[in-house]
Chain A
Amino acid sequence: MSHIADRIISDVGLEAGVAGLTTEKIETVVNQMLKGETGAKLRAYKETCMRCGLCSQGCHYYMSHDQDPSYSPVNKATETMYELMEKKGKVEPQRIYEMAQMAYTECNLCKRCAHYCPIGIDTGYIMSMVRRICYLLDVVPQYIRDTAHSHSSTMNQMWVKDDEWIDSLQWQEDEARDEFPDLRIPLDKEGADIYYSVIAPEPKFRTQLIYQAAAIMNAAGCDWTMPSHPGWDNSDMCMFVGDFENMGRLKRAHYESAQKLRVKRIVMGECGHAFRSVYDMGNRWLGHKKMPVPVIHAIDFYWELIRDNKIKITHKYEKPVTIQDPCNIIRGRGLMDKLRDVVHFLCEEVVEMTPNREHNYCCCAGGGVINCGPPFKNTRMTGNRVKAEQLKATGVKDVVIPCHNCHGGIEDIIGYYDLGMHGKFIGDIIYELMEKPEL
């Protein structure tokens, strides 16, 4: 069995954070957090866990490291939260470094292990609470901390300035009008049926996705709008950092910007973690049992367009594809059937990975792990050999991936294991196949 202490990776954020710690500070913060923020759920988990090890095989890290027990869910919980609870926070600063590395970079909060634990222990929740403690201790990997800072200062993930956001939308509208002469990206249209929200990397790096979304909305004749003001970014790295205060601010801004425009509902782009923050984490922090504005994921939206016959495609995608099931919308929100309906509508042949649907393996990028940046890239690559094997076994070249994070993670794995495949958003495929005006 390996040990976390033997695989410490140098990271500025973790190092600087730990340098500022004293044992007294750790003790105070841990106890305050355990007393003030956690309750029966965590206590029952710790006590009721039978240390049976059944959860081990649920975790892709464990499976990918030749069943190294150090990566099993129960071991991760034992070496972090359970130890903090048992020792009442009396641990050395270096131990916090190890725990932070484990919680931020060796668990994707994907909850796959939930299918394996007879007791019903939620290791993803436990690791989120470890992250919360590390955040309160200011021991956070530098890259993701920077992203969270961007959220808290600009209300978006990528330091996109307010005028740059509007510029990007108008630029895409302008470009698209060459191809679709009557296309508009309506800004701040009050009372629209659809408020379309994206993650900040879309205007920043993948602006063509906004172009494609506009083309689809246009072709389907949707009454839609995008906001010109903060709140447009639905992403949420604060949730993964453990900065729940800012998580709440972000979600409130998102909901409120939609409420201000009195839209009927929010449609989110193809992203998994942002959806989680809306239905599972941010809403709870704000005290909403249900979402104050109905929110649906792009898959749901495409599915409706197909059901209502609003998308016309000229032909089906000819090459065989496989499907990545993003945890946050599949195990997280049950969209597996709709995802399949949409992909089968668009593509001639689908070769499934096994296991799939809610038993899928995570892409290993989720839970903010990819956002911890280059120092931890190898952690993701070696931590998800099983995904590479799954992908390879399908023998196809195209992977349909309806999640931004999964895109990043899977493309990295494809490169690292030299699989010669590539990923596609559903929007990419719809755009490619849809009827376009003859010019």
Chain B
Amino acid sequence: MTSLYSFVTGPLAWIAFGIFIIGSVYRLVSMYALAKAKDGSSLAYMSWFYGLRSILAWMVPFKSQGWKSDPLMTVTTFVFHIAFLLVAVFLNAHVVLWDMNFGISIPSLPTAFGDIVSFVAIAGCAVFAYRRLSLPHVKGVTRCQDWFALILVILPFITGVLAYHQIGPVLLMTILHVLSAELLIALIPFTRLSHALFVLFTRAYMGSEFGGVRHANDW
């Protein structure tokens, strides 16, 4: 078991990060090449100013029509993404990892707070799942890929919480936690989670068209 542990936290971690980085670069570069080859009449209108303006406008909760239209979804989206980043980067166990593996030292969240944030992230996923199950306009367009992405995201949180609270065999839970996190990282470029890579560009493009061509706000 300990050798398995050192394998998943050692070589496998490097592989997961490798796939993530190479995969992300590949996806972004190939998408850009495709855009250059085929979407010239759109690329021509890309604008830093209007692109950034749109990104910033949509980072403000309840500013856009979309965020106003569904408060539960808005709160959940913002809270979930913030919780996700906080846990992934600043949880004290993770901070130790950054330090040990990359020699980067960053401040860590107080332990109890980190625990709460993990529960908040799980609750966020629960809201997403609730929407997919019960709101007709979401249920109708939900496909397996959407569920797969949601499960991929929630697993590291659940196993993490179990390991931390020592529910079930600790070492096994920790291994499962690391494994599920690695799976998540490696698959980001290749699943619906790729929105993490592309959303800035789609948003900036919409902002550029609305600001530069259509002279109207896109929020």
Of residues 187 through 219 on chain B, the ones whose CB sits less than 8 Å from some CB of chain A are 192, 194-195, 198-199, 201-207, 209-210, 213-219
Interface-side segment among A33-41, A148-156, A316-324: A33-41
Asked if B38 is at the interface of the complex by the 8 Å CB criterion, the answer is yes
Contact A39 B140 (CB under 8 A): no
Contact of A53 (CB < 8 Å), options: B42, B67, B141, B210: B141
Asked if A289 is at the interface of the complex by the 8 Å CB criterion, the answer is yes
Of residues 248 through 288 on chain A, the ones whose CB sits less than 8 Å from some CB of chain B are 279-280, 284-285, 287
Asked if B142 is at the interface of the complex by the 8 Å CB criterion, the answer is yes
Interface centre among A40, A78, A114 (most CB of B within 10 A): A40
Asked if A439 is at the interface of the complex by the 8 Å CB criterion, the answer is no
Contact A114 B210 (CB under 8 A): yes
CA distance in complex: A334, B210 (Å): 9
How far apart are B118's CB and chain A's nearest CB, in angstroms?
22
How far apart are A112's CB and chain B's nearest CB, in angstroms?
9
Contact of A39 (CB < 8 Å), options: B37, B131, B137, B138: B37
Of residues 1 through 60 on chain B, the ones whose CB sits less than 8 Å from some CB of chain A are 31-32, 34-35, 37-39, 41-42, 44-45, 54, 58
Interface-side segment among A119-127, A160-168, A303-311, A413-421: A119-127
The chain A residue with its CB closest to the CB of B197 is: A48
CA distance in complex: A44, B34 (Å): 11
Asked if B146 is at the interface of the complex by the 8 Å CB criterion, the answer is yes
Interface-side segment among B69-77, B102-110, B177-185: B69-77
- Contact mask A38-76 → B, CB, 8 Å, 1/0? 111101110110111111111000100001011010110
Q: A121-B202, A280-B213, A333-B214 are in contact. Are A58 and B137 (CB under 8 A)?
A: no
The chain A residue with its CB closest to the CB of B194 is: A47
By a CB distance below 8 angstroms, the chain A residues around B37 are 39
Contact A69 B137 (CB under 8 A): yes
Contact A75 B137 (CB under 8 A): yes
Contact B201 A44 (CB under 8 A): yes
Contact of A41 (CB < 8 Å), options: B139, B140, B205, B213: B205
Q: A1-B136, A43-B31, A119-B195 are in contact. Are A48 and B202 (CB under 8 A)?
A: yes
By a CB distance below 8 angstroms, the chain B residues around A189 are none
How far apart are A267's CB and chain B's nearest CB, in angstroms?
18
How far apart are B142's CB and chain A's nearest CB, in angstroms?
6
Of residues 64 through 121 on chain B, the ones whose CB sits less than 8 Å from some CB of chain A are 64-67, 69-70, 73, 77
By a CB distance below 8 angstroms, the chain A residues around B138 are 51-53
Asked if B167 is at the interface of the complex by the 8 Å CB criterion, the answer is no
The chain B residue with its CB closest to the CB of A3 is: B140
Contact A115 B31 (CB under 8 A): no
By a CB distance below 8 angstroms, the chain A residues around B139 are 69
- Number of interchain pairs (Cβ within 8 Å): 145
The chain B residue with its CB closest to the CB of A36 is: B38
Contact B77 A122 (CB under 8 A): no
How far apart are B35's CB and chain A's nearest CB, in angstroms?
4
How far apart are B29's CB and chain A's nearest CB, in angstroms?
11
The chain A residue with its CB closest to the CB of B199 is: A119
Contact A50 B195 (CB under 8 A): yes
Interface centre among B66, B137, B192, B215 (most CB of A within 10 A): B137
Asked if A116 is at the interface of the complex by the 8 Å CB criterion, the answer is yes
Asked if B143 is at the interface of the complex by the 8 Å CB criterion, the answer is yes
Contact B34 A39 (CB under 8 A): yes
By a CB distance below 8 angstroms, the chain A residues around B202 are 44-45, 48, 119-121
Asked if A397 is at the interface of the complex by the 8 Å CB criterion, the answer is no
Contact of A119 (CB < 8 Å), options: B42, B69, B203, B213: B203
The chain A residue with its CB closest to the CB of B201 is: A44
CA distance in complex: A120, B141 (Å): 18
Contact of B192 (CB < 8 Å), options: A37, A47, A115: A47
Q: A44-B198, A334-B216 are in contact. Are A74 and B141 (CB under 8 A)?
A: yes
Q: A41-B42, A57-B69, A119-B203 are in contact. Are A48 and B213 (CB under 8 A)?
A: no
The chain B residue with its CB closest to the CB of A72 is: B137
CA distance in complex: A224, B165 (Å): 81
Asked if A375 is at the interface of the complex by the 8 Å CB criterion, the answer is no
Asked if A332 is at the interface of the complex by the 8 Å CB criterion, the answer is yes
Q: A1-B140, A51-B142 are in contact. Are A332 and B216 (CB under 8 A)?
A: yes
By a CB distance below 8 angstroms, the chain B residues around A53 are 131, 135, 137-138, 141
Q: What are the nearest 9 A-B pairs in CB distance?
A: A39-B38, A334-B215, A120-B206, A40-B35, A116-B66, A284-B41, A115-B65, A53-B138, A69-B137
24 A-B contacts, Cβ less than 8 Å apart? A1-B140, A39-B37, A44-B202, A47-B194, A47-B198, A48-B202, A50-B195, A54-B70, A57-B69, A62-B137, A69-B136, A78-B141, A115-B65, A115-B219, A116-B69, A118-B58, A118-B67, A118-B199, A119-B203, A120-B199, A120-B204, A122-B209, A280-B214, A284-B41
In the complex, besides A116-B65, A121-B206, 8 extra interface pairs with C-beta distance below 8 angstroms are: A43-B31, A47-B192, A51-B142, A52-B138, A54-B73, A114-B210, A120-B218, A330-B216
